[in-house]
Every structure is written in structure tokens, then in C-alpha cells.
Amino acid sequence: MKFDVAMRTDKGVVREHNEDAIGGDPDAGFMILADGMGGANAGEVASSLSVEMLTSQLTGASEAGYAETGRERLLNTIQDVNHAIQELSQQVPEYQGMGTTLVVGLFTEHSLLYAHVGDSRLYRLRDGLFEQMTTDHTIIQEMVNLGDFASFEQALMAGVPTNVLSRAVGSEEIVDIDLSETEIDNGDLYLFCSDGLTGMVTDDEIQSILENMNLDLMQQADELVEFACRMGGVDNISVILVRAMANDG
């Protein structure tokens, strides 16, 4: 496989600063998206630190030939990031309580290993089926998972807020990380995104943009961000698109 990549981040219409951070290296086979939280510019610090540390360690691991397995490497690196954020928040009063969501993908020839914490998401478009690969770590989703509500819609009608995280990198001494793996097919299109997109744009609207063959990958990324801004743009918006293509395709 070879991978075509497009990345875009924007502060949106309402926010003064962009506390999202994105990064990646198609050659090394990884993509990273983080959505920071915290007072002042603490959220920006947490998300940027996450992307910088992960980029450094994953690039170094790739160059060294991946001494660890992919799973161990990814889990250990995220725990290192979690520890660094906690340590910094304890050292700098303005950063107290900061944290970040995180969604990371490691692409190999035939598979994608992905990890996430929080409500930033990974989607896949394959043969007309657009599906969310991650499950949000939010209070409302946890309540639905536990059976407190029969559906997400019922919880919404009951007034449960949608943006309260149940997990974040930096919020606990050891972060609980969801880790999964999936096979990659020729033509797969993967979307990493922050909730600044999904809070403004429905899954059907996202799919419609991704299936627009009149747009190249970067234009699709631009259109996703711009559409979220047109719908209100109340939060920072970040997207990473990765299209898998056979080497002979």
C-alpha cells in the first residue's frame, strides 16, 4: 500500500486560539490528532506536547527498526506523554488540570493500529460504508454504555451534556487507552478528526463530502473544515485524511 495524506486545522469562528494539534509522517506510517483542554493556553500546550513527543518517539522508533511491537510502542509512548503532561501541570500553576484527547494511527502495509483517548474520532469510508471506528470517552457515551439510557438520543433529550470527557491524556496518573487494529483495503479512506468537526457536521454530511469525486483529498479536507465553520464553527476544527492505494494502483 501507499498512502495519500491531507491535513488541516483551524481555530473555527468563535475561539480566539487553536488548541488542536495535528502531525504525522506518511513515510514513517503514523498520524496524530490531539484536542487540548485547560485554562489560558494550557490546552494548546497539552495537545502540542502530545504531538511533539509522539512524533519524536515514533519517528525514532521507525528509524531504529521498531525494536518493540507496534502495540507496546504505541501504549508506552502515550503513557510517556500522559506522564509529561501531568508533570508539567504540577510544575506550572497556569497549566494545572490541563489535558488532551488523542487519536493516533500506525499504518503498515496491510493494517492500521489505532489508539485513542477522549472524543476525537477515527472514521473509515469503505465501499460506500462510512463508520466510526472509535467510541467516545464522554460521560454521555458512558451512561449509554452502562444502560442508563437506551440510546444517545434519549440521553440528549434528558439534558446530558455531550462535551464532558470521561477520559483524557494527563487527567490521571495512568491513562486508560483504547487500542484496536484493522486490516486495510485498497481504496480505504480514513478520517481522524476533533469534535469541532463532528459537533457541527453530521456523519451523512461528512460522507457526502468524502464521496465527492470532484474534490481531491486536500480539497475534501478544506471543505470539511469550511463546512463546519459555515455551520457555526464554535470549536477548533482538525481533520487528517488518509487514502490507502495499492502500489500498482
Q: What is the DSSP string of 151-182?
A: SHHHHHHTT--SS-BS--BTSSSS---EEEEE
pLDDT tens digits, 48-88:
999 999 999 888 765 555 556 788 889 999 999 999 999 99
* pLDDT score of 241 more than 60: yes
How would residue 1 be classed by pLDDT, with cut points 50, 70 and 90?
confident
| Mean pLDDT, residues 157-181 taken together | 92
pLDDT tens digits, 101-148:
999 999 988 899 999 999 999 999 999 999 999 999 999 988 988 889
How would residue 218 be classed by pLDDT, with cut points 50, 70 and 90?
very high
Percent of the chain topping pLDDT 90: 77
- State residue 247's pLDDT score: 81
- State residue 209's pLDDT score: 98
Sign of CA dihedral 7, 215, 243, 205: positive
| Mean pLDDT, residues 176-185 taken together | 96
| Mean pLDDT, residues 220-228 taken together | 98
Percent of the chain topping pLDDT 70: 95
Which CATH code, of 3.40.50.620, 3.30.420.40, 3.40.720.10, 3.60.40.10, is assigned to 2-132+166-245? 3.60.40.10
- State residue 63's pLDDT score: 56
**CB contact set of 115 (below 8 Å; sequence gap of 6+):** 74, 75, 78, 102, 103, 104, 177, 178, 179, 180
CA 217 to chain centre: 18
In angstroms, rounded to a whole number, what is the distance separating the alpha carbons of residues 146 and 124?
A: 26
| Mean pLDDT, residues 40-55 taken together | 92
**Grid coordinates standing for 7?**
491535513
Look-up: residue for cell 508533570? 87
- State residue 108's pLDDT score: 86
* pLDDT score of 163 more than 90: no
DSSP label of 169? B
In angstroms, rounded to a whole number, what is the distance separating the alpha carbons of residues 216 and 64?
A: 34
Q: Is residue 24 within 8 Å of 30, Cβ to Cβ?
A: yes
| Mean pLDDT, residues 141-169 taken together | 88
